[in-house]
Amino acid sequence: MLLPRVSVIIVNYNGKELLEKCLESLFKVEYDNFEVVVVDNNSTDNTVDFLTKNYPSVIIIKLDSNKGFAEPNNIAAKITKGDFLLFLNNDTVVTPNFISEMIKVLENDKTIGICQSLLIKPDGNLDSSGDFIDKLGIVYNSTTKIKEIRNISSARGASMLIQKKLFNKLGGFDKKFFFSFEDVDLGWRTWILGYRVVIVPNSIVYHSPGTTTSKLKFESAFHGLKNQLAMKITNFEPRFMLRSLFFFFFVYGSREIKIWFDYKFKHNTNMTSTKYEKTIAKNPSIKIIIKSIFWIFKNIGYLYKKHTQVNHNRIFSTLYLEKIKIVSNQKQ
């Protein structure tokens, strides 16, 4: 039986050493019908020369600037020949059956739109068993150990498989996100359109995200915050959107400001803070909040248009997604 063709898309920026390990493992997979497309974000570490010399079968798309994560994936998706798109980070090492296990799930259950591999850290600890969205639209990563396929709010772009027809129907990743939470937005919109998103524990990928510079930490925090705000506006129905934004600004927002003041003047905080807050809030996060709000107002026309389109095509309501715990305050 002819296996469905899979197009593996990898976005790269100055990650030649990581990419080498990724491709070495990828070309050992036990799946005979796939192509590999690498989109290079104008790297300066000779990645393109390395690929041309060592992996002539890889399709290379070289961009003239760093366009983040969302848009390069969309660009690659347009030229692929596969029935399925597999988005893979360059800082991963895959296992031989990771493609076949996900293909089996999508082929056997047409209610499933996207699936994610179980992501494991190089030290053997769990990196991610899927992302979840709470009732305020705030995203958190689950590290719950699982043995069975289960629903998740969204799949991580580190190793995500989706049918190409569905990806096109969704309009791909939102390129205005640049990077950060574009995979969450895609997964959320997949549920809204009436398809499930699941984690496949038998598809295992080792993931070792690298460290970033201080400048990239600021940019990552900015894109993370403005993209979370954007998703609240576009993916909730109006009444839930207003609820989410109100509580975000007056509860979560005030908490962020309190943590920032503690770090600024006391150099510590007595509030429970996340790793993100410890590294970003004291650097300081006020600038990030202001810049994010300015971006929202600048792009309000686009966000309103997307909100209208998303809700016009809506199959699953937020109330239903809360009922089945896809949107839930309960940690999963």
List the beta bridge partners of residue 140: 132
The pLDDT score that the predictor gives to residue 251 is: 66
Q: What is the pTM of this model?
A: 0.90
Kindly report the length of the chain. Answer: 332
Tell me where in the chain the CATH 3.90.550.10 domain(s) lie: 6-207
The pLDDT score that the predictor gives to residue 214 is: 43
CA angle (166, 208, 287) in 5-degree steps: 80
User: Is pLDDT at 302 greater than 80 in this prediction?
Assistant: yes
pLDDT tens digits along 137-183:
888 889 999 999 999 999 999 999 999 999 999 999 999 999 889 99
Give the mean model confidence (pLDDT) for residues 291-307. Answer: 95
Q: What is the 3-state secondary structure (H, E, C) of 78-97?
A: HHCCCCEEEEEECCEEECCC
The pLDDT score that the predictor gives to residue 65 is: 94
Q: Beta 150-151 vs 196-207: how paired, if at all?
A: antiparallel
Q: Which among 103, 107, 117 is positioned nearest to 152, based on CA atoms?
A: 117
Backbone angles phi, psi at 22, to 5 degrees: -60, -50
Which letter does DSSP use for residue 130 in this model?
-
Write down the mean pLDDT value for the chain. 89
pLDDT tens digits along 203-243:
999 998 754 444 466 677 788 889 989 999 999 999 999 88
pLDDT tens digits along 98-140:
999 999 999 999 999 999 999 999 999 999 999 999 888 888 8
The pLDDT score that the predictor gives to residue 244 is: 85
CATH of 6-207, one of 3.90.550.10, 1.20.1290.10, 3.30.1280.10, 3.90.110.10: 3.90.550.10
- CA pair distance 6, 171, nearest whole angstrom: 19
The better pLDDT of the pair 74, 330 is held by 74
pLDDT tens digits along 47-79:
999 999 999 999 999 999 999 999 999 999 999
Q: Beta 159-163 vs 84-89: how paired, if at all?
A: antiparallel
